[in-house]
Structure 1
């Protein structure tokens, strides 16, 4: 008689216990691993937030420095302020006020952390302001209503020789203020606290976390009241019975700092959720383990094989391969979607590179077309011929030398040239034009010292000088042309070409400032469009060019390039 195998000693029992133990061990490993991952991720998030705050604080410091420099260099116009305080005639005061308003209006959009500008004269009850945004809160009115408090706080800080940014509250709104005083007139700028917090919304903080701005006394600059703070110890803050981890970043200015409060109890909730998920996973794995083993080839092996095959085809140059909707699981579907998107982006990148190459070639062609101007060359040769007929040998020699020097520089294939060489090129062009037009125009150059070695795009100044002579020269009046070059503190080279002619038409200004080609009765303005294209190709968004008209008469071209 065969001995009956008892379950307690059977292989099946031992397999069940082995599988159960293995699953339990796997679940514990999963729990421990997830706890470790959570803690590591939490530390990474803390470092990410701290790094983000540090980078943003540097960005804020830079932007506020620019605002400060604007107030000092552009707003403290002593003559204008004197006209406001002690005008010779009342009309001088109105004109000075208009000049300040125009300066505020034209400049406020160029600074990221400048929500408003103001000028205040308490003695004559003069208040001028300009806000960047008009919807929502009436910031101009709030600043005006709080002007006495602003002046008082400014005088308190000035008394201690600390002309720094300071915070004020007006109603439910908080602002940072920076101002200067000259002869009883206060000029300043404000930044709404919400503007500072706008970019911090992208910081990876939980819904239970707080992103705040605090002043030098650690007071929170927000109208929404926070819960009572019971205790603050080290980097941990106890508020309303909850613990919060503090991540603080001080800015260059003592007037304010950034603070992120992260809920410390989040970890306990997440770990409890991980344990519960592990228990559910244990039950599901125990019940479905055998079934999943039978279908794993269909669910995993085949999608992976298809992915490997697609990658091999991609390596061979086949950009038409796709894995759309070939995966069953979300993870593999995400990989397939990312793979398909990567191929599309590679195709788009190839097209963009090709188009950029064509654009550079077209710009070079237009550049060469502008250099060899048949009309200009013909006029010069006719002038030399006439001088030769008249027996003006010295002038003929001078004209030939100037023309050869001009053409030699014009036919250079270099995309950039030193400022000194460009000015020499402009002077050659000026001499050639004076031999033709005589004293009908005057070119005045104002160049800041120490800029001769700075590089600028080739023929950039000459194009606009030629444009002024070509379109603005009138035999009945003398034409003045100014070329100014200086360097700003922010490391940007500023170039300005202006004249006192009739200026640009409105349609021309709109076309030029939109970087579009302009074709009129005098032909196509290749040179101006050429300069705009080369600036974009050489510097991208770091360069800027602005076309405008002078207040009385004449055209103005302002160019800003990095150095």
Structure 2
């Protein structure tokens, strides 16, 4: 919420909100009115076409009922059907007479049912088909229809559903049939789907609209190319309509299922044809809506160019200034006179602030340099006096080899301490100085401790503050070395990868002594700089922390802890220069 509140209180948000409060209700009202008008026209067109489909489907169903009324009594009451149930070998003449009589009966009644293509009777026991067809079509077409009936019988004779009309998909066409059974005799009616489509083709559904018959699985019987090309879905609700298609090829789909068979009548009406019948007022409202949106965008563009962008440049410059970028300036771009005055004044003020800040910064930097130099030059006088005393004692016993080595080590030690006023030195020099210091301590305390210093070649050129390692080693010798137990001191160098910033150089100073006491670890964890100066204890640690903070701020760390069964560990992390 704290992040959102400044944005909600910004001038940009208030300006956009005020514009939207004025224009959005008006545009919404126009859009809703337009959509409502479109929906009304769609509903009227859909209802009109659905009524037409219902009327025609009712006519088809009545014709199918009339056909069923003829077939049921014929199949059950015609004596010729009884003769067709027996094998023709039983009485061949009687069988042939029944066959001819049955054909004539069906042929004579074909004229009462113009919707039909044929009646047929099939004797399953004798495997003979009697077909009475109308005279329409060529001989090849009638023969093809006869073959389709035979294929249908092979597949449908064993079915238990003889109550409804069904769709049969032939090799070149779709057919509608109703099959009845009495004993070993089957009787049926056969309708070519093209016969049903003749009245539907007279319905005006637009240039690309169509009326078609579908199966109960919404598979088109006609206009298959149209349905596939437009990727139309033929599923329809019972009481209303649905929209199908993509882009500009959107169609209204409404349908009517048959009560006598598993097929539907479906009407496809292009939406573009419907919208042509919209009143001119609806078109005008659409134009007004588009014009309102255009002027709204134009108004926002002008206000953004003349008002919001200059303010945004000022705010961005102030944000950069808040983040510490004192070089931030406002770009001088064409703007209103008032904004030009504000920009020029801001830039001039920033120039004066930068000059003042540079002077203050240089004074602070000089003070930090003096403090850092003072910290580097702090020398333990006891170490210096003890080293001279060791040389004196070695001279007394005339151990000239050790005197030479001790003198050489002291010369190297003090040369390192005084040779440079640099704030950073290569890790190679720091490790060599630490090794020199440890050797001096070994000469002071022979057979008391051993040491090892890692010198990975990949890290020797990295720069570190001088005496940062030697100070921690000196502290280890002061508190960990005793006369009762041999102590092992090691200096290890490694690297720590970081995904958020530069990698860090890791320096571990370890010993095998008793480790840090709990009260010392508690004190070290608090990182109190001033506490060391009260009694002079831990002055080396305080010195190291102070120098790291002056050089790296909070990017360098010193950690103190004990390793179980090992001893004390000092872990120093310093940012690496890639």
Q: TM-score, normalised by structure 1?
A: 0.39
Structure label with greater radius of gyration: 2
Q: TM-score, normalised by structure 2?
A: 0.38
